[in-house]
Amino acid sequence: MSDVYIIGAGIHPFGRTPERSGLQQGVFAVRQALDRAGLDWRDIQFAYGGSDAAGKADTMVSELGLTGLPFINVTNGCATGGSAMFGAYSTVKSGEFDLGIAVGFDKHPRGAFDPRPADWGLPDWYGETGLMLTTQFFAMKIQRYMAMHGITRGTLAAVAEKAFDNGVLADHAWRREPVDAETILASTMVSDPLTKFMFCSPAEGAVALIFASEAKAKALGLPAVRLRAAAVRSRPPGSFEVFSPALDVDRGLSPTHIASRAAYQMAGIGAQDVDIAQLQDTESGAEIMHMAENGFCADGEQEAWIAEGRTRIDGILPVNTDGGCLACGEPIGASGLRQVYENYVQLTGQAGARQVPGDPRIGYSHVYGAPGVSAVAIVERA
Amino acid sequence: MPDLPPPIDDRLLYLDADGTPALRAARERANGRLVFPAPGEADRDRYEDVLLPREGRLWSWTVQRFRPKSPPYAGPEAFEPYAVGYVALGDAIIVEGRLTGAPLDGFAIDMPMRLVAAPFTLDSGERRTIFAFAPVGGPAA
């Protein structure tokens, strides 16, 4: 069993790139990761890759080189990137290979996702009558949370405002203009209580991460982070998930909660040890709820946390330092890996204008998706 | 019996003689857990048919303010926003559905709600009956 390191990372800017397919954006990210690490595609012994809607990752070998490496396609909804990373992590940890890559990419059309009920084991009427929308789920989850735990609309707006402020500083972000809280609150209501600027949009982009064994990482001597934990969990009984025509009366934990606790256990640390966090923020309410589900604060404490700026880049726990999904958009297959990319860049001191001060040591990332899956990774500056 | 169009799905709604609706669900024989929507005929040995309670309290809600993509949405091209919510039906199960019988800003968590049959027009112009929840004591849908 080897410790697992991330020794290189590449990203194709998120947003809209009409001239490149999703696959081409994936190739771009892989090449950038290799270039920055001074490695060649022929050095890579295995790959995991995937997209939700932009094609088969393993076809990248036609552009990257026909080296014969094992290339495993991963399709796991919003956790596609997280699952690809879990595959790469397990492969290096097992000792099977000592240098590999995980790549995620996507390219979605404009507007909300348009799922087919049968793909989710649901009857057609659920979609036909206009109930099958991710936006409704997010709105109803935060609506109830606000009522139970005293979260205000101003806090929803403050989270989005922070995301756009951070996006201004991130060269891979899509939205790079600040938007003030007043404008966010006054923008078009999409699904009450969430306005247009509180939601992220489906988008395009790609991320590649290079994984190495401890021996390989030491031999290469590149800027690196050690992967202390990578956990993927599906939903426990009584959770509240996207695309649920009904919920059990007995309410339970979330997949995020159990993935998070598993990751802390693997890493042998607690939430109080984390220096920066990238939390799934498909809308601003999600970031608020995920702060508690990942153990960073108790339910309701977010109101004070955000009012005091504790999650800003100069706060005690900077959250979504590149603007998260709100500023970067959500290319499903790439989104979870973007979070790890951002932690890698931050912990290796390469984040430029958005660099978190004080030499952050521990980075936490969390992705969530339908039909109830979460992936958490914890990395430490090597 | 009032002249209601056919239910949008045969397995969704039970309508009694005066048109009062109930949601068709299933109870898993092994553990008593309620399942809605009811699973298909193939699983009949694992489940028994049950009707869900007709009243409960609003658990959460929102408003659908843009027209969903078609497919899967089958409503008319002309779009009117509608409210959506989850209603905790007694101690049984929490069910998602459209909300009706009040203005879009007229819903609040814990409000007493009841099941109603509601008209739904397909994009083809054909009419179907769906279910919705309305505030108890409010105007009939």
Inter-residue contact B115 to B133 (CB < 8 Å): yes
Is A42's pLDDT higher than 70?
yes
User: Could you report the predicted ipTM of this complex, rounded to two decimals?
Assistant: 0.95
CB pair distance less than 8 Å for B93 and A132: no
Model pLDDT for residues A278-307, shown as the tens digit of each residue: 999 999 999 999 999 999 999 999 999 999
Question: Which of A111-125, A128-142, A356-370 is least confident?
Answer: A111-125
Whether A40 contacts chain B with CB within 8 A: no
If pLDDT is split at 50, 70 and 90, which confidence band does B141 have? Answer: very low
Give domain status of residue A166, yes or no. Answer: no
Whether B24 contacts chain A with CB within 8 A: no
Whether A61 contacts chain B with CB within 8 A: no
The burial class, CB within 10 Å (0-12 / 13-18 / 19+), for A180 is middle
Minimal CA separation from B97 to chain A, in Å: 7
Q: Which of A122, A130, A246 sits opposite B93 (nearest CB)?
A: A246
If pLDDT is split at 50, 70 and 90, which confidence band does B66 have? Answer: very high
Whether A141 contacts chain B with CB within 8 A: yes
Q: According to the model, what pLDDT value does residue B2 have? A: 62
Q: According to the model, what pLDDT value does residue A110 have? A: 78
The burial class, CB within 10 Å (0-12 / 13-18 / 19+), for B67 is middle
Task: Give B-chain residues touching A250 at CB under 8 angstroms.
Answer: none
Q: Which of B63, B93, B96 sits opposite A131 (nearest CB)?
A: B96
CB pairs under 8 A between A and B: 122
Give the separation between CA A167 and CA A174, rounded to whole angstroms. 7
Give domain status of residue A300, yes or no. Answer: yes
SS3 category, A14: strand
Q: According to the model, what pLDDT value does residue A359 have? A: 96
Q: According to the model, what pLDDT value does residue B139 have? A: 60
**For testing the chain A interface, which of B10, B96, B99, B104 should be mutated: the one with the most A CBs within 10 Å?**
B96
Minimal CA separation from B55 to chain A, in Å: 14
The mean pLDDT value for A207-235 works out to 96
Residue with the larger pLDDT of the pair A169 and B92 = A169
The mean pLDDT value for A31-55 works out to 96
Residues 6 or more apart whose CB falls under 8 angstroms from that of A86 comprise A230, A231, A232, A375
Q: According to the model, what pLDDT value does residue A224 have? A: 98
Q: According to the model, what pLDDT value does residue A369 have? A: 86
Model pLDDT for residues A317-353, shown as the tens digit of each residue: 999 999 999 999 999 999 999 999 999 999 999 999 9
CB pair distance less than 8 Å for A131 and B61: no
Residue with tokens 């430490």: A380
Q: Which of B33, B71, B120 sits opposite A127 (nearest CB)?
A: B71
Per-residue HEC secondary structure of chain B comes to CCCCCCECCCCCEEECCCCCEEEEEEEECCCCCEECCCCCHHHCCCEEEEECCCEEEEEEEEEECCCCCCCCCCCCCCCCCEEEEEEEECCCEEEEEEECCCCCCCCCCCCEEEEEEEEEECCCCCEEEEEEEEECCCCCC
Q: According to the model, what pLDDT value does residue A82 have? A: 86
CB pair distance less than 8 Å for B71 and A141: no
If pLDDT is split at 50, 70 and 90, which confidence band does B69 have? Answer: very high
Model pLDDT for residues B10-43, shown as the tens digit of each residue: 899 998 888 899 999 999 999 999 999 998 777 7
If pLDDT is split at 50, 70 and 90, which confidence band does A112 have? Answer: low
Closest-CA residue of chain A to B97: A131
CB pair distance less than 8 Å for B59 and A189: no
For chain B, what are the domain ranges?
Answer: 13-135
Which residues in A359-374 are b (16+ Cβ under 10 Å) and which e? ebebbbbbbbbbbbbb
Q: Which of B63, B65, B73 sits opposite A128 (nearest CB)?
A: B73
Q: What are phi and psi of B113, to 5 degrees?
A: -130, 155
Model pLDDT for residues A71-99, shown as the tens digit of each residue: 999 988 878 888 899 999 999 999 999 99
Is B59's pLDDT higher than 50?
yes
Give domain status of residue A148, yes or no. Answer: no
Whether A244 contacts chain B with CB within 8 A: yes
Is B1's pLDDT higher than 60?
no
CATH number for the domain harbouring residue A88: 3.40.47.10
If pLDDT is split at 50, 70 and 90, which confidence band does A199 have? Answer: very high
**For testing the chain B interface, which of A125, A248, A250 should be mutated: the one with the most B CBs within 10 Å?**
A125
User: In Å, how far from its chain's centre is CA A372?
Assistant: 15
Q: Which of A125, A128, A246 sits opposite B94 (nearest CB)?
A: A246
Which residues in A78-90 are b (16+ Cβ under 10 Å) and which e? bbbbbbbbbbbbe
Q: Where are the alpha helices (DSSP H) in chain A?
A: 22-37, 61-64, 80-94, 124-128, 134-149, 153-168, 181-186, 214-220, 255-267, 284-293, 302-307, 324-328, 332-347
**For testing the chain A interface, which of B84, B91, B120, B133 should be mutated: the one with the most A CBs within 10 Å?**
B84
The mean pLDDT value for B70-75 works out to 94
Is B138's pLDDT higher than 80?
no
Task: Give A-chain residues touching B88 at CB under 8 angstroms.
Answer: 249
Q: According to the model, what pLDDT value does residue A357 have? A: 97
Element (H or E) spanning A100, and its range? strand A99-107
Model pLDDT for residues A169-190, shown as the tens digit of each residue: 999 999 999 999 999 999 999 9
SS3 category, A252: coil
**pTM of this prediction?**
0.95
Task: Give B-chain residues touching A111 at CB under 8 angstroms.
Answer: 69
Q: Indicate the number of domains in chain A.
A: 1
Which range marks the domain in which residue A99 is found? 4-111+200-381
Inter-residue contact A99 to A105 (CB < 8 Å): no
